[in-house]
Structure 1
Amino acid sequence: MLNNIKNLLKDKVTIIAILTTIGIAIISLIKLGKAPIQINNIDKVEHALAYFILTFVWLVALRRTKISKLLIVFCCFLYGIIIEALQVTITSYRSGEILDVIANTTGILIAFIIYNSFFKKNKAI
């Protein structure tokens, strides 16, 4: 088990995936100030982008393992739901929204589609 963890951490992409996961949690749970320019629903684009990056990096990091791509996608989806639930339960300044989960899911699905289309064309990578 410890050797498996060491092997995962040797790969820099795995470290980037772990840091991305931690970064999304931190940004999602800290109190952020108001943006100087207000654009309606820009946060949904930010959610989709964050979860696109999260999913794509994990898919790349674990591409040489036997872990199913669908399991990775499901874990990213579940992670998004957990973060939304934590926003409601452990913070008083953040709110969990179903539209955020939909935006997260959109980013996850786009990452999955792009990953599959890119790595099917470039099997040598």
Structure 2
Amino acid sequence: MLKRIKNLLERNSLFFAISSSVLVLILSLINMEGVPNFNYSYTDKFEHVFAYAVISFFWMLSCKLGKLPVSFFSLFLIIIAYGIIIELLQLSLTSHRTGDLMDVMANSIGVILGFIFLKILSRIYLQV
């Protein structure tokens, strides 16, 4: 089972990276009125952390597998810049969303967690 997951990740890491990035962009810019909200404090920030952890995990996995000619540090900065750009787009393009500095912080924490998760999995399972 783990061998199948490893092969799936190795074969499709770039597809997952691109798909998750596009999905986050779409979800960040569409009107979410009418979508149930849990109304917990900072739920939104956990969503940002999770989304950017997933994005960074797949982009950095693709980098680790040699599918991207970019260093981890460069990729780290690019993903954080991507989050900042999305926040700026929310401010300028939408009337139903707002950009937030705390979202940028949550995104950055997610990028760090995605990197840490990749390092842990690499040592335990992936051996890449």
Does 2:17 correspond to 1:14? no
- Residue matched to 1:69: 72
* Deviation readout 1:41-77 (Å, 9 max, x if unpaired): 1000000000000000111122122421111111110
- Residue matched to 1:52: 53
Query: 2:63 corresponds to which letter in structure 1?
Result: L
Per the alignment, do residues 119 and 36 of structure 1 end up closer, same or farther by CA in structure 2, a change over 3 Å counting?
A: closer
Which residue among 95, 98, 101 is the counterpart of 1:98? 101
Query: 1:96 corresponds to which letter in structure 2?
Result: G
Q: Partners in 2 of 1:117 and 1:59 — Cα distance?
A: 13
Per the alignment, do residues 36 and 76 of structure 1 end up closer, same or farther by CA in structure 2, a change over 3 Å counting?
A: closer
Coordinate RMSD, CA, aligned: 1.7
Q: How many residues align?
A: 115
- Residue matched to 1:84: 87
- Residue matched to 1:7: none
TM-score by length of 1: 0.83
Give the Å deviation of 1:37: 2.9
- Residue matched to 2:29: 29
